[in-house]
Amino acid sequence: MTRNRPPGSTDSEISRLEEPLDLTDFVPCMKNIIEKAEDREGRHRVLAVLATYLYQMGWPEDRAFDLWLEVADRCGVESRIFEMGLCGGHSSVFFPQLGYCAL
């Protein structure tokens, strides 16, 4: 399956809001992750998605990490999952097995 992309766009571009989106305006699935994620199968993937979402929603890295760490501590996920998100000079999630940054 492929997505139609605007002319000139590349897979390495990750969109980011110029102003941080307020937590109350997050999509329900992200609010659910923040409120209910647990120490269970899939927790690393969920925390990687959350890290990328915080980047895309314009959150500064320090603020994003503080929120992310609350969830990661509850789930037993080490901070390297967030730290791997520093690729290409911006915060995003890096999947070394795939060789690219992605949401």
Q: What is the pLDDT of residues 9-56, one digit of tens each?
A: 555 567 889 999 999 999 999 999 999 999 999 999 999 999 989 999
Does a structural domain hold residue 81?
yes
Does a structural domain hold residue 36?
yes
Count of domains observed in the chain: 1
Does a structural domain hold residue 58?
yes
Mean pLDDT of the chain: 78
Does a structural domain hold residue 6?
no
Does a structural domain hold residue 7?
no
For residue 13, CA distances in Å to 6, 55, 57, 85, 89 come to 12, 12, 14, 14, 12
Does a structural domain hold residue 16?
no
Does a structural domain hold residue 73?
yes
CA 33 to mean position of chain CA atoms: 11
Does a structural domain hold residue 1?
no
Q: Residue 42: give the domain boundaries.
A: 23-102
